[in-house]
Amino acid sequence: MENELKMKSRQQPKKEQEKSENKSSHSILHTHSGEVGDNFANSLNEVYVIDTIDLNFVCLNKRAITKSGYSIEEASLLTPIHILPQMNDEQFRLLVSPLVDKLIPKIVIEALLQRRDGTQSNVEIQIQLTQFMGQECLELTILDTSEHKHSIYELERYKFATDNTTDAVYWVREDSSFFYVNNSACKMLGYSREQLLSMGVVDIDPKYPMDVWKKHWSNMKQKRFMSLETKHRTASGEFRFASMEVHFYEYYDEEFIVGTARDITDAKYTQMALQKTQAALDTATDVILWLQTDGKIIYVNDIAHNRLDYTRDEILEMNVADITPDIESAELFKSEIWPSLEAQKGMVFQFTFQRKDGSTFPAEMTTHLIEFSEEKFACSFVRDLTEINQAHLKLKELHELNQTMIELLSVTDGVWDWKVDTGEVWYAPGWRKMLGYAGDDIKGIPNTLEAFDSRIHPDDIKGVWATVQESFDSITGVSQEVNDKKLAEKHKESQEHHQSKITSIIKPFEHEFRLRTKDKSYIWVRARGMPRFDSAGNPVRLVGSTNDITEAKKSREAIEESEERFKQLANLNTPCWITEIDSNCTWLNQQWIDYTGQTLEEQLGFGWLDAVHPDDVDQTKTIYLEAVQNQQNFELEYRLRRYDGHYRVFRARGSVSRDRKGYFNGFTGFSIDIHDQREAQLALEREKEALAVSNKDLQEFAYVASHDLQEPLRKIMAFSELVKEESGEQLAEESQKYLETVIESAKRLKQLVSDLLTFSRISSRGKEFAPVNAKKCLDYALNNLEFAIQENDAQITSDELPVVLVDANQLTMLFQNLVSNAIKYRSDEKVKIHIGVHSINSVHKFYVQDNGIGIEPQYSKKIFEIFQRLHGRYACGGGTGIGLAICKRIIERFGGDIWMESEIGKGTTFYFTINND
Ligand code: ADP
């Protein structure tokens, strides 16, 4: 108000006066708008306020007084004619009448302005209506071009001034762009002036997007002044809190919002921190007490009410001694506790606190000495130890349990912990023990990855690491999934939840492989582990355990093997069965079921006996139960009823089955259908028996016949000879021929009977086998044949012959027959006979080779049959046709074989074998 020149005092009530001032013209407005406004108003315009009625000057601003040269007193007597010499009052009234009638808001004229000293200058004058002291007046604002320049200079000066104030100053245009900013504004926002001048409020104040800014602008235009708090975004993106005073200015035809901003960020943060501290104090779980030197409580936080049952107000009336029986009195606090607190600046007490109802609780009171406004206080944090004490106990128990677990694990389990990122591995004592080392043998098995890797069986290394990698990679799959936009939106969960989700998807490491032990042998182990990942999904740890599964593996293999056997049993195309230790049958295969036509249920236990022939049941049962008793394999035959009621013979074989420890477990067995075989065998036996009987009869007949025939034959021969001797010559020639034939036939019959007797005696009268040199037998034979040999001049050669285990007489007989035939069936050439042998170990193949007439191949078998002769009865000296049959029988008795090879006209070779194995 002191800058304002009042020339007329119109006695108006104060309130009204203020009201009119608020609606004032530029000058007044400027006067009212503080320092900046004053500078501006004073330096820029000459303003004259003129009463519309009598055209008296009612107010001049400082600049008008200075420029016009009139004193205040003089000015009060002026009318426009004094400053505008080119027009009289009437002309002036005419000029301003559209204004007074409110037809137009403003008139700007060019006029000659005269000063008190008579000097004149051309100026622009802006005239508009204004209110002054409740009176409608005209406001003449002189717009001198030279003045304008001057005002720009002023502005520059102002800028210089404002540039160096610590508050930030902004001049802002209607479109929010900056018209001017001072150094502090640049500093506060972190931009250069050039940068800021190309920006606007909308760029730095998130509170004012363009639409809001526009509203703010019109609001400011009306209100003219506002103080507000906002935050500005700096070049670095941070926000600075600012407290602002904002003015609306019109400068010539331009309108501006001019704001001064003070950075209150630090203050704001301090305030927020304070608020937080207050909130923290009030929401702290510990009771907080501020105590005076005498123990009087001057502050207490909210929680105290819950802990002590007293209200806050009640506590604020109390002394710490009232709630802690351990501090007997306020005096004690003052005289003993306070001095030591002061000395040590802070102490921790273990006190018992008492609630309103008299109950107590143990607490730890941590007390700090603080100085505040030159006064000293004790700030105590009282922590209820009840739960903590209990938790401590629990923790101790848990710790002990944990210790036990670790010890247990260490002993029994091969626990390990591989820190993937650092490469360290920790092996529990159990791991070392598993491999035959002492639990603490760090030298034998150091805590390195190498210690593990080098022990894996070469064939298993690849598999182990591939499985580890698979487990590590399982997280990658998850992150990829979560990275997927849709999924990521769907799973906007907390990190913790996300982590737990990952854990559930991660594939644990699990693998079976072989590890080398201390004694260089390999054991089978199963390792299991769970990988841990960092937030980026990299594996950091693999923790797990390894167990020796060698035994389990063996038994599993055994089971697999037995299952395989079982499968094979089931696939056998013959009835099979399994019985248990209690002798009950527990399994029969499909073949059994198909054969008997009974259901499985009907035959389990001892039900199968129902299909066994009633006559065989007792024996079957007895043999089976005896086998169970003795735990021995068994074999038996029974007749088993087929689904159609027919019985067939089966041979059942039961093998003892044992468990892993070798204990008797029952039998597994199968029954083979031997019906056809048995039938054939029976038929064969029956035939054999019949044959043996007939053979025996025949032999006996042959023997008896030949023996009994000898006697009458001898008589025939004897009497024929007698007749021939005594009366042969008396007989007619014809009769003599007849008598000769009788004698000849009798001789032949005698030979036949003798040969037959020999033949029949081979089996029945043979001698025990004894070792004999075959050459000796040959020599006997040749000796017997001496006459025939000489007569035929036969050349007989032989190899060295082996010792054989035979009936020597019969071997002699064999050689004799063969050599005799070789001579007998001679050709015209000189008789050459060779007796040889091929021996392999004790198997001897003898042969008798001649150069005789030979035998047609088709008779190679026939000639060994009795009475079979190829050549006529009398050809080649004749024979009975029994010789080769005798040879065959002898060789059969020796257990060998006889056959021949021959070529007509070239000779025959007879072979026979003697096997003394
Ligand atoms: P036989 O008393 O007729 O000799 P064998 O049983 O000894 O009766 O011989 C049967 C037949 O085999 C003879 O009749 C003869 O035709 C023929 N045979 C046997 N040995 C020879 C041989 N070495 N060479 C030619 N034929 C032979």
Pocket flag, ligand 1, residue 900 (CB < 6 Å): no
Ligand 1 atom at minimum distance from 880 CA: 2
Look at residue 819 in the predicted model and tell me its pLDDT: 96
Ligand 1 centre from 627 Cα, in Å? 61
H/E stretch holding 504 reads helix 495-505
Query: What is the CATH number that goes with domain 15-144?
Result: 3.30.450.20
Mean pLDDT computed over 357-366: 87
Ligand 1 atom at minimum distance from 859 CA: 12
Ligand 1 centre from 853 Cα, in Å? 10
More confident residue, 54 or 9: 54
Look at residue 547 in the predicted model and tell me its pLDDT: 83
Rounded Cα distance between 686 and 678, Å, is: 12
Which one of 884, 886, 902 would you pick to mutate in the ligand 1 pocket, going by the greatest count of ligand atoms within 8 A of its CB?
Answer: 884
Ligand 1 centre from 878 Cα, in Å? 9
Look at residue 240 in the predicted model and tell me its pLDDT: 86
The one-character DSSP state at 71 is -
Rounded Cα distance between 869 and 620, Å, is: 58
Pocket flag, ligand 1, residue 908 (CB < 6 Å): yes
Say yes or no to pLDDT of 874 above 70: no
pLDDT in tens, 642-686: 999 999 999 998 888 887 677 888 888 888 889 998 888 889 999
Q: How many CB atoms lie within 10 A of CB 425?
A: 21
Single out the residue of 697, 705, 741 nearest to residue 723, CA to CA. 741
The answer to whether domain 15-144 and domain 282-384 are alike in fold is: yes
More confident residue, 520 or 15: 520
Q: Which CATH superfamily is domain 282-384 in?
A: PAS domain (3.30.450.20)
Say yes or no to pLDDT of 89 above 50: yes
Ligand 1 atom at minimum distance from 755 CA: 2
Mean pLDDT computed over 1-7: 39
Query: What is the CATH number that goes with domain 766-915?
Result: 3.30.565.10
Ligand 1 atom at minimum distance from 885 CA: 6
Mean pLDDT computed over 261-274: 73
Which residue has the least CA distance to atom 9 on ligand 1?
A: 881
Which one of 751, 869, 880 would you pick to mutate in the ligand 1 pocket, going by the greatest count of ligand atoms within 8 A of its CB?
Answer: 869
Rounded Cα distance between 506 and 530, Å, is: 8
Look at residue 162 in the predicted model and tell me its pLDDT: 58
The one-character DSSP state at 881 is S
Confidence of residue 227 (pLDDT cuts 50, 70, 90): confident
Does the CA dihedral 466-469-475-479 come out positive or negative?
A: negative
Looking at domain 397-548, which of 3.40.718.10, 3.50.50.60, 3.40.190.10, 3.30.450.20 is its CATH number?
Answer: 3.30.450.20
Ligand 1 centre from 874 Cα, in Å? 12
- Residue 623: Cβ-neighbour burial (10 angstroms; 0-12, 13-18, 19+): middle
SS (H, E, C) 712-777: HHHHHHHHHHHHHHHHCCCCCHHHHHHHHHHHHHHHHHHHHHHHHHHHHHHHHCCCCCEEEEHHHH
Mean pLDDT computed over 500-505: 45
Ligand 1 centre from 784 Cα, in Å? 18
Q: Where are the domains of the chain?
A: 15-144, 150-268, 282-384, 397-548, 555-680, 766-915
Which segment, 345-354, 512-521, 551-560, is predicted with the most confidence on average?
512-521
Say yes or no to pLDDT of 491 above 80: no
Confidence of residue 804 (pLDDT cuts 50, 70, 90): very high
Ligand 1 centre from 881 Cα, in Å? 7
46 and 256 in contact (C-beta within 8 Å)?
Answer: no
More confident residue, 306 or 447: 447
pLDDT in tens, 822-835: 999 999 999 999 99
Give strand ranges (E) for 267-392.
287-291, 297-300, 346-354, 360-372, 375-384
Ligand 1 centre from 192 Cα, in Å? 146
Ligand 1 atom at minimum distance from 886 CA: 6
Confidence of residue 615 (pLDDT cuts 50, 70, 90): very high
pLDDT in tens, 554-567: 777 767 766 666 66
Look at residue 645 in the predicted model and tell me its pLDDT: 92
Look at residue 453 in the predicted model and tell me its pLDDT: 92
Ligand 1 atom at minimum distance from 871 CA: 16
Give strand ranges (E) for 133-213.
135-143, 168-172, 178-181
Ligand 1 centre from 711 Cα, in Å? 28
Helical ranges in 573-674 per DSSP H: 590-596, 600-603, 614-630
Look at residue 799 in the predicted model and tell me its pLDDT: 93
Percent of the chain with pLDDT over 70: 82
Mean pLDDT computed over 378-394: 78
Pocket flag, ligand 1, residue 451 (CB < 6 Å): no
Say yes or no to pLDDT of 193 above 50: yes
Integer CA distances (angstroms), 504 to 492, 669, 848, 902, in order: 17, 51, 96, 95
555-680: what CATH class?
A: alpha beta
Ligand 1 atom at minimum distance from 822 CA: 23
Assigned token pair, 305 = 């009410």
Look at residue 398 in the predicted model and tell me its pLDDT: 65
Angle at 294 between CA 288 and CA 298, to 5 degrees: 40
Which residue has the least CA distance to atom 17 on ligand 1?
A: 870
Say yes or no to pLDDT of 504 above 70: no
Q: Which CATH superfamily is domain 150-268 in?
A: PAS domain (3.30.450.20)
558 and 658 in contact (C-beta within 8 Å)?
Answer: no
Which segment, 161-165, 366-370, 697-701, is predicted with the most confidence on average?
366-370
Pocket flag, ligand 1, residue 883 (CB < 6 Å): yes
pLDDT in tens, 194-206: 899 899 999 999 8
Pocket flag, ligand 1, residue 751 (CB < 6 Å): no
Integer CA distances (angstroms), 445 to 439, 514, 542, 824, 883, in order: 9, 16, 19, 98, 92
Mean pLDDT computed over 429-435: 86
Look at residue 847 in the predicted model and tell me its pLDDT: 97
pLDDT mean across residues, the chain: 80
Assigned token pair, 221 = 């235009």
